[in-house]
């Protein structure tokens, strides 16, 4: 595909702002046209004869490729991107992104693929049920909503009274379901973030929680440094992305005495926080994977 026939769609989401910004900048250095997509104003017009078109505040959205995106918070975008994906290349199909956005769906897909993961129990937003599950798992437990980003709506409870308090905090966010997991003491306050693009490992860092926090989210102040994955960890990361149908993904892995376990999967990981630690131009690598037919 020649440059004149190419237009990369880049969507910004409040929970994923750094990646779109970097990709737009990288595309500019290569002269690749970019169409910014305004998620809040997306509409899908369906005509009498079944003709469909996607619009936002700037007009018709016409693209040949779609950069990694996050659907969280914008359900209309799922319908719009299904339409756009009929003619535009994307590493991540809509249904795969929706699976990654849903921690329960992710766990089911990983189980179907027989991949090792942190054990999870999915339950309704019911305090008595959550307490019963925690008793079965044994404290301390981690409890989270099935949807969330950047470590939000994830809590740790060391006893029933704390679980009840945590439950009411999560309940205040509205209807939904919960995931309850045992705390993985082997790797407390740490996690590995492996970024996959084009279906293969791009880079990985070991993240360590800040201060007294136990969540190793960089957005929450965690530090990170490059880490070499073992062959088993590299294969697990690539297999996990493939299991949910993502070509581009962030795979969070915990190291345990039983071997590596998948914790979560992100369809639009913020690899930009990793840039200072690698000589390789990660942004250009992601951009190239978005445009497999690009003729330089």
CATH, residue 131: 3.30.1490.20
- Quick one: 58 and 193 in the same domain? no
- Quick one: 198 and 110 in the same domain? yes
Could you tell me which of 294, 215, 280, 289 has the C-alpha nearest to residue 249? 289
**Gap between the Cα atoms of 144 and 27, Å rounded:** 37
pLDDT attached to residue 175: 80
- Alpha helix (H) ranges present in the chain? 18-29, 75-84, 94-101, 103-112, 127-137, 160-171, 231-243, 282-290
Residue stretches of the chain with pLDDT short of 70: 1-4, 149-151, 292-296
Which sign does the torsion angle of CA 53, 56, 57, 58 carry?
negative
- Quick one: 66 and 141 in the same domain? no
**Gap between the Cα atoms of 238 and 194, Å rounded:** 9
| Lookup: tokens for 147 | 């949807």
Q: Does the residue 262 lie in any domain?
A: yes
Q: Does the residue 291 lie in any domain?
A: no
- Quick one: 62 and 141 in the same domain? no
Q: Does the residue 293 lie in any domain?
A: no
- Quick one: 30 and 160 in the same domain? no
- Quick one: 239 and 256 in the same domain? yes
Residue showing tokens 């339950």: 123
pLDDT attached to residue 149: 66
pLDDT attached to residue 271: 95
| Lookup: tokens for 124 | 């309704």
- Quick one: 125 and 243 in the same domain? no
Which of 147, 164, 183 terminates a domain? The answer is 183
pLDDT attached to residue 295: 46
Which of 91, 108, 129 terminates a domain? The answer is 91
Residue 17 sits in a domain of what CATH number?
A: 3.40.50.20
Total count of domains within the chain: 3
The conformation of residue 117, written as its DSSP 8-state character, comes to B
Q: Is this prediction's pTM over 0.75?
A: yes
The CA–CA distances, whole Å, from 69 to 94, 127, 128 equal: 9, 34, 36
- Quick one: 127 and 38 in the same domain? no
pLDDT attached to residue 109: 97
pLDDT attached to residue 296: 45
- Quick one: 138 and 168 in the same domain? yes
- Quick one: 195 and 112 in the same domain? yes
| Structural domain boundaries enclosing 212 | 99-116+187-267
Helix, strand and coil content of the chain, in percent to the nearest 5, comes to: 35, 25, 40
Dihedrals phi, psi of 235, to nearest 5 degrees = -65, -40
Q: Does the residue 283 lie in any domain?
A: no
- Quick one: 111 and 247 in the same domain? yes
- Quick one: 109 and 209 in the same domain? yes
């Amino acid at each position: 595909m020649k440059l004149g026939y190419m237009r990369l769609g880049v969507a910004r989401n409040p929970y994923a702002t750094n990646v779109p910004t970097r990709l737009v900048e990288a595309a500019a250095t290569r002269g690749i046209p970019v169409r910014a997509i305004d998620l809040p104003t997306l509409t899908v017009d369906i005509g009498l004869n079944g003709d469909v078109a996607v619009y936002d505040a700037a007009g018709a959205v016409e693209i040949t490729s779609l950069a990694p995106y996050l659907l969280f918070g914008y359900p209309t975008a799922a319908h719009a991107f299904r339409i756009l994906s009929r003619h535009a290349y994307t590493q991540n199909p809509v249904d795969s992104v929706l699976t990654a956005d849903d921690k329960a769906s992710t766990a089911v897909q990983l189980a179907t693929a027989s991949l090792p993961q942190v054990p999870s129990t999915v339950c309704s937003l019911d305090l008595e049920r959550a307490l019963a599950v925690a008793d079965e798992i044994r404290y301390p437990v981690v409890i989270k909503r099935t949807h969330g980003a950047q470590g939000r709506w994830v809590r740790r409870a060391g006893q029933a009274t704390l679980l009840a308090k945590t439950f009411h905090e999560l309940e205040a966010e509205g209807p939904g379901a919960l995931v309850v997991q045992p705390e993985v003491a082997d790797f407390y306050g740490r996690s590995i973030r492996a970024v996959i693009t084009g279906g293969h490992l791009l880079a990985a860092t070991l993240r360590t929680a800040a201060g007294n926090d136990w969540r190793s989210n960089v957005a929450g102040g965690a530090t990170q440094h490059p880490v070499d994955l073992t062959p088993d960890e590299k294969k697990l990361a690539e297999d996990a992305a493939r299991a949910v149908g993502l070509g581009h993904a962030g795979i969070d892995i915990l190291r345990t005495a039983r071997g590596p376990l998948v914790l979560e999967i992100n369809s639009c990981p913020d690899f930009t926080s990793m840039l200072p630690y690698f000589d390789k131009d990660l942004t250009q690598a992601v951009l190239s994977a978005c445009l497999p037919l690009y003729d330089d």
